[in-house]
Every structure is written in structure tokens, then in C-alpha cells.
Amino acid sequence: MRDLSLGGANNYHWVIYDIPASTTSLPAAVPAQAAPPSPAGAKQTYWSFSNTYSYQGPCPPNEHTYEFTVYALPTATAAVPANTTNPATAAAVITAAATSSAKLAGKYKQ
């Protein structure tokens, strides 16, 4: 999940990857750790604005556009270097390996 309103490409609110192909939904409140227990095998990076793992939802003071992107990969695991915490690094590896993707964007305003 990226915030498209801040300018620049590296405004990540969430990068989660190595989600098993059989997974059809994510649990609420995925634990804030590099390798959450659910979905099994998944990994997360920090978000762009803190050394914190997991999803950080929208809460801007004015209207922002957020984009969720899901990537299909040809392998069960992405070739993201071990212990990667930088979301832009993981996103670059995932994007380069993707065979397909789908995006959903929406606006948020308090």
C-alpha cells in the first residue's frame, strides 16, 4: 500500500510478501513483526516513516490517494534479500519479478 499524494515513489504504508497462493484474505491486525504467524510464510518490511512492521492505515490531515497493489509471482517466495526492512527495496524486487499485477486506488479524507 502506497500513499500517492506525498510526492516521490517511496511512500509505503505496507509491504507484505510471500503470501501463499492459497490465501484468499488477510487477518485483521496482522502482527507487527517481520514474519507474522498468519498468513504462514509471509514477510513484512517496515513502513516508510518508522521502524515498525505491519500495516499503517491512512490518517492524513487532508485528502490523500492510497493505492493497493497485488502482484503475481512465478515462484512461491520472492528473492527479497533476507532481513530486508526497507519497503522500497522489497517492492523493487517484487515488481521486477511479477508476472502480473492488479491495483486499487482510493481517496481518504478525515
**Rg, the chain, Cα only:** 14
* Alpha helical stretches, state H, the chain: 87-97
**C-beta atoms surrounding 40 within 10 Å:** 12
Which residues are paired to 67 by β-bridges?
2, 105
| Domain map (residue ranges) of the chain | 1-110
Contact 20, 28 (CB under 8 A): no
Global pTM reads: 0.90
Q: What's the CA gap between 41 and 108, in Å, rounded? A: 31
Q: What's the CA gap between 98 and 110, in Å, rounded? A: 34
pLDDT, tens digit only, all 110 positions of the chain = 999 998 777 789 999 999 999 999 998 889 999 999 999 999 999 998 899 998 888 888 899 999 999 999 999 999 999 999 999 999 999 999 999 999 999 999 88
Q: Which fold has domain 1-110?
A: Phosphatidylethanolamine-binding Protein (3.90.280)
